[in-house]
Amino acid sequence: MVVKHPSDQPSRKSTVPSLMRAGGQSSSGKVRPWWGQSFLLGLGTLSVVLLLWQWGAQRYTSVILPSPGEVAIALQGLFRDGLVGGAIAATSTHVFIGFALALMVGGLLGLAVGQQPWLQPAIAPIAVALLGTPPIAWLVLTMVWFGLNSTNSIFTVAVTVAPIVFAGVVDAVVTLDAHLLAVAQVYQLRGRSRFQCLYWPHLVSRLLPVCVTGLGIGWRVSIMSEVLATPVGIGAEMNTARANLDTASVMAWIVITIILVLTSDTLLRLLQQRLLPWRRDPPRGVTLRHPSTRQMGAAP
């Protein structure tokens, strides 16, 4: 005699047309929006912003608020004059070098404090003080220390982002599951093996969102420092346009900055999907079942 588990009986859900599941379903049971719906929502929001922008431009002069068309013409002129490539290269260099220094310093100190709690009273107050210090204060100091050059932007980005990375790494190490640590002790994982198998996956899952935030802050801080104290970069070009009362060019550089920030954010999220595949929803048509729901047969 064969005893059938209730899960073996045909389910009515399986007869639902595939068109009803076009949007897909996440692992939490929530229906994911169709990609076309997200695109239409984004396009609608952009259209509303452009309409409000055009309405405001009709009420003020181009010096106060240029129209979207004037900004598009200014943007075309920047590309035609060959100013965009060099400015993007300079600003990207400032951001990525400063961000790499922040990751290295903040990450190493965070690992040390997370694994050795007795270091926290010595380092944590410094990190809190750095978090509370506005970037403009560091920029004023760098102008005195380094003069008007690219070091200002790199140092300001590093000292602004490093405390954020430090706090994220400490939180990641402290919140590591104690059961996993016990398993590592049982299998006698030490050194590099312990880091790769235990700490690295947990750190990556916690730090990638921190990196998205830190990189966005890095772009803003770098451009701000370039406006005031660096002769090259997007901020320096903004400052030149401001001095010439060319508001359309200023807004064109803002558009370029937004594109750069969105691009870096998208690349980091793609990296997160590649390094953390378990955080993605299962493919459409694939259902993840708990082992307890497998078919049950007769006892031998």
The pLDDT tens digits of the residues spanning 211-247 come to 888 888 999 999 999 998 888 899 999 999 999 988 9
Q: Which pLDDT band, with edges at 50, 70 and 90, does 257 fall under?
A: very high
- pLDDT at res. 160: 92
Q: Which pLDDT band, with edges at 50, 70 and 90, does 147 fall under?
A: confident
Q: Which pLDDT band, with edges at 50, 70 and 90, does 3 fall under?
A: very low
Q: Which pLDDT band, with edges at 50, 70 and 90, does 56 fall under?
A: confident
Distance CA 209, CA 214 (A): 9
- Please provide the average confidence, as pLDDT, over all residues in the chain: 78
Q: List the beta strands (DSSP E) in 121-209.
A: none
DSSP state of 287: -
Could you read off the pLDDT of 97-140 as tens digits, one per residue? 999 999 999 888 888 888 787 887 888 888 888 888 888 898 88
In the chain, where are the structural domains located?
72-276
Q: Which pLDDT band, with edges at 50, 70 and 90, does 298 fall under?
A: very low
Considering the four listed CATH numbers 1.10.3720.10, 3.40.50.10140, 1.10.10.60, 3.30.9.10, the one that applies to the domain covering 72-276 is 1.10.3720.10
Tell me phi and psi for residue 298, to 5 degrees.
Answer: -70, 150
DSSP state of 31: B
Q: Which pLDDT band, with edges at 50, 70 and 90, does 155 fall under?
A: very high
- pLDDT at res. 266: 86
Tokens 């899952």 -> residue: 205
Could you read off the pLDDT of 160-201 as tens digits, one per residue? 999 999 988 888 878 777 676 677 677 677 666 776 667 677
Supply 186's token pair.
Answer: 């049982």
**For the ranges 37-46, 57-66, 159-168, 194-203, the one whose mean pLDDT is highest:** 159-168
